[in-house]
Amino acid sequence: MSTLPLDSMPPGEQPSLDFAADAPWEMSWEMLDAIAAPLWITDQHHRWIFLNAACTPLVGNNRSALIGQREMDVLPLGVSQEVMAAGQRAVASGEAQPFAVEMTDAAGDYRRLTATTWRFFAPDGELRLMVSLQDVTPLHRVEQTLHRQSERERLLGAIAQHLLQSLNSEDLLQTTVNEVRRFLRIDRVLFYSFDPAYNGVVAESASSTMAGSAMAQIDLSFTPADLMRYRRGEMEVIDDITTAHLPASYLAKFDQAQVKACLIMPIVEAESLYGLVCALDCSGPRPWAAWEIETLREVATQVGGAIKQARLYHQVQRLNTDLEQQVAQRTEQLQTALEFEATLKRITDRVRDSLDVNQIMLTAVKELTEALDVKGSNTSLYDLEQGTSTIYYEYNSSSPSYQGRVAQMEAFPEVYHQLLDGQYFQFCSVEPNPVRGYVAMLACPIVDDRGVLGDLWLINDRDYGFNDIEIRLVQQVANQCAIAIRQARLYQAAQSQVAELERLNTLKDDFLSTVSHELRTPVTSMRVALQLLGVTLNQEFDLTADLQKPRAEQTRIGRYFSILQEECEREISLINDLLDLQRLDVGNHPIQPEPILLGTWLASWIDSFVTRAKSRDQTLKLVVAPALPMLYTDLASLERVLAELLNNACKYTPPGEQITLDVSAHPDSPADQVAIALTNTGVTIPAEEMPRIFNKFYRVPSADPWKQGGTGLGLALVRKLVVHLGGDVKVTSDENRTCFTIALPIQTALTR
Contacts of the segment 580-586: beta carbons below 8 A, 24+ positions apart: 580/640, 580/717, 580/720, 580/721, 581/512, 581/696, 581/713, 581/716, 581/717, 581/720, 582/509, 582/512, 582/513, 582/516, 584/717, 584/720, 584/721, 584/724, 585/509, 585/720
On whether both 68 and 174 belong to a single domain, the answer is no
Tell me if 507 is assigned to some domain: no
The answer to whether 263 and 296 are in contact (CB under 8 A) is yes
Q: What's residue 16's pLDDT?
A: 39
Contacts of the segment 504-512: beta carbons below 8 A, 24+ positions apart: 509/582, 509/585, 512/578, 512/581, 512/582
Q: Which of 119, 135, 151 is the last residue of a domain?
A: 135
- Residue 259 CB: number of other CB atoms within 10 A? 21
On whether both 731 and 593 belong to a single domain, the answer is yes
Q: How far apart are CA 478 and CA 482, in angstroms?
A: 6
- Residue 556 CB: number of other CB atoms within 10 A? 7
On whether both 615 and 568 belong to a single domain, the answer is no
Tell me if 435 is assigned to some domain: yes
pTM confidence score: 0.36
Q: How far apart are CA 470 and CA 56, in angstroms?
A: 69
On whether both 161 and 259 belong to a single domain, the answer is yes
Q: Which residue, 679, 639, 674, is CA-closest to 660?
A: 679
The CATH number of the domain where 48 resides is what? 3.30.450.20
Q: Is the dihedral of CA 320, 326, 329, 330 positive or negative?
A: negative
The answer to whether 725 and 633 are in contact (CB under 8 A) is yes
On whether both 129 and 268 belong to a single domain, the answer is no
Q: What's residue 149's pLDDT?
A: 73
Cross-strand bridge partners of residue 679: 660, 739
On whether both 148 and 131 belong to a single domain, the answer is no
Tell me if 503 is assigned to some domain: no
The CATH number of the domain where 281 resides is what? 3.30.450.40
What single string gives the DSSP state of each residue in 489-501?
A: HHHHHHHHHHHHH
pLDDT digits 0-9 by tens, 656-665? 999 999 998 7
Q: How many domains does the chain have?
A: 5
On whether both 285 and 193 belong to a single domain, the answer is yes
Q: How far apart are CA 713 and CA 614, in angstroms?
A: 26
Q: What's residue 20's pLDDT?
A: 39
DSSP 692: G
Tell me if 522 is assigned to some domain: no
Tell me the pairing of strands 619-624 and 658-665: parallel
DSSP 725: T
On whether both 275 and 384 belong to a single domain, the answer is no
Query: Which stretches in the chain have pLDDT values below 70?
Result: 1-28, 155, 158-169, 197-199, 208-221, 246-251, 314-316, 397-400, 434, 508-509, 511-513, 515-521, 551, 566-567, 569-570, 573-589, 666-671, 698, 700-711, 749-752
Q: Which helix (H) or strand (E) holds 341?
A: helix 313-353
The answer to whether 420 and 453 are in contact (CB under 8 A) is no
Q: What's residue 721's pLDDT?
A: 85
On whether both 148 and 269 belong to a single domain, the answer is yes
Q: Which of 474, 495, 516 is the last residue of a domain?
A: 495
On whether both 686 and 605 belong to a single domain, the answer is yes
| Residue 574, domain extent | 534-582
The answer to whether 477 and 456 are in contact (CB under 8 A) is yes
Q: What's residue 298's pLDDT?
A: 84
Q: Which residue, 30, 26, 38, is CA-closest to 7?
A: 30
Tell me if 505 is assigned to some domain: no
Q: What are the strands of the beta sheet with 236-238, ordered from one edge? A: 200-206, 188-193, 272-281, 261-269, 236-238
Q: Which of 554, 582, 610 is the last residue of a domain?
A: 582
With residues binned 3-state (H G I as helix, E B as strand, rest as coil), the percentages for the chain, rounded to 5, are 50, 25, 30
Q: What's residue 582's pLDDT?
A: 63
Q: What's residue 659's pLDDT?
A: 92
Tell me if 504 is assigned to some domain: no
Q: How far apart are CA 410 and CA 502, in angstroms?
A: 43
pLDDT digits 0-9 by tens, 388-403? 998 888 888 666 677 8
- Identify how many contiguous H helices and E strands the chain contains and give both numbers: 19, 25
On whether both 28 and 85 belong to a single domain, the answer is yes
Maximum distance among all Cα pairs of the chain, rounded to whole angstroms: 142
Q: Which residue, 274, 253, 278, 99, is CA-closest to 184?
A: 278
Q: Is 60 left (phi over 0), alpha (psi -120 to 50) or beta?
A: left
Tell me if 500 is assigned to some domain: no
Q: What's residue 701's pLDDT?
A: 60
Q: Which residue, 721, 705, 576, is CA-closest to 639?
A: 721
Q: How far apart are CA 636 and CA 634, in angstroms?
A: 6
Q: Which residue, 413, 408, 403, is CA-closest to 389?
A: 408
On whether both 349 and 248 belong to a single domain, the answer is no
Tell me if 317 is assigned to some domain: no
Beta strands in 574-727 (DSSP E): 593-596, 619-624, 631-634, 658-665, 673-681
The CATH number of the domain where 622 resides is what? 3.30.565.10
